């Protein structure tokens, strides 16, 4: 083998080695690129999935409307209660002093005092509402109006006891009042729609109907004590003194003898 041929073989081996090295290098670069792309795709998939889930959750959550204004929104605390109460309640028993006292205590804070800003926050104009002589404005929380209505309906079960000396005109007024109360309670019950499940059991000892309504379900309620305590802190009694809309300003103007008062 001559020198030139040896050179060609050596160069060929070197070229072959370099080509192999170059190929391996390119293969490594391609593999690294593939891994990078897989990582990028996985990250993008995670972002897209998270975004879609967030949108779905947002749509589900959007079904829950924001709470409408109430001056006690900050005190509202939910709690679970058994649908079927196992505790004794006096409120539906036969008329007695104890029963009347219990109802009186329950609805005592029906009439309360609120500020001008609270009236405005309720989308109302203070100048168009009854102003209390002691300051503030006459108001009531809805639940106490409904409890008041429930007590009136209880009274109608025992008209001879609660309306004994009423005239025909007064009794007619009370019947109209009761119809108003029925409608107020109907709307409130349908608005809040208790969806707890009731079932029926068989009671051999029941003399009226063997099939009886029962439930072991629970329902979400508003914790009552903070509501009652807040209302009690603002109660103005059953017969507060107040001014008709605009009359307080007129009385002040008359007192000051200002000729330009209207």
Tens digit of pLDDT for each residue in 107-153?
A: 999 999 999 999 999 999 999 999 999 999 999 999 999 999 999 99
Q: How far is CA 141 from the centre of its chain?
A: 15
Cα–Cα distance for residue pair 114/137, rounded to 1 Å? 5
Cα–Cα distance for residue pair 23/33, rounded to 1 Å? 15
Q: How far is CA 155 from CA 90, 117, 165, 197, in A?
A: 14, 37, 14, 30
Average confidence score pLDDT of the chain: 83
How high is the pLDDT of residue 52? 54
How high is the pLDDT of residue 59? 54
How high is the pLDDT of residue 243? 93
The burial class, CB within 10 Å (0-12 / 13-18 / 19+), for 15 is exposed
Which parts of the chain sit beneath pLDDT 50? 3, 6-11, 13-18, 60, 250-262
How high is the pLDDT of residue 85? 87
The burial class, CB within 10 Å (0-12 / 13-18 / 19+), for 89 is exposed
How high is the pLDDT of residue 7? 45
């Amino acid at each position: 083998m001559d020198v030139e041929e040896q050179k060609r073989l050596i160069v060929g081996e070197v070229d072959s080695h370099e080509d192999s090295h170059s190929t391996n290098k390119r293969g490594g670069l391609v593999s690294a690129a593939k891994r990078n792309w897989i990582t990028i795709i996985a990250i993008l998939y995670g972002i897209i999935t998270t975004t879609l889930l967030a949108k779905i959750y947002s749509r589900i959550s959007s079904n829950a409307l924001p709470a409408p204004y109430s001056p006690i929104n900050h005190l509202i605390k939910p709690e679970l209660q058994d649908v079927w109460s196992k505790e004794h309640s006096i409120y539906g028993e036969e008329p007695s002093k104890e029963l009347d006292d219990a109802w009186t205590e329950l609805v005592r804070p029906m009439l309360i005092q609120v500020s001008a800003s609270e009236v405005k926050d309720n989308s109302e104009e203070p100048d168009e509402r009854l102003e209390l002589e002691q300051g503030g404005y006459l108001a009531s929380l809805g639940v106490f109006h409904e409890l008041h209505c429930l007590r009136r309906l209880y009274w109608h079960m025992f008209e001879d006891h609660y309306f004994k000396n009423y005239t025909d005109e007064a009794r007619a007024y009370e019947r109209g009042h009761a119809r108003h109360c029925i409608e107020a309670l109907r709307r409130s019950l349908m608005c809040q729609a208790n969806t707890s499940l009731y079932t029926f059991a068989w009671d051999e000892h029941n003399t009226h109907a063997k099939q009886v309504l029962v439930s072991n379900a629970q329902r979400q309620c508003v914790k009552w004590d903070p509501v009652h305590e807040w209302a009690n802190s603002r109660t103005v009694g059953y017969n507060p003194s107040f001014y008709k809309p605009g009359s307080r300003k007129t009385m002040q103007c008359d007192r000051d003898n200002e000729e330009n008062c209207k």
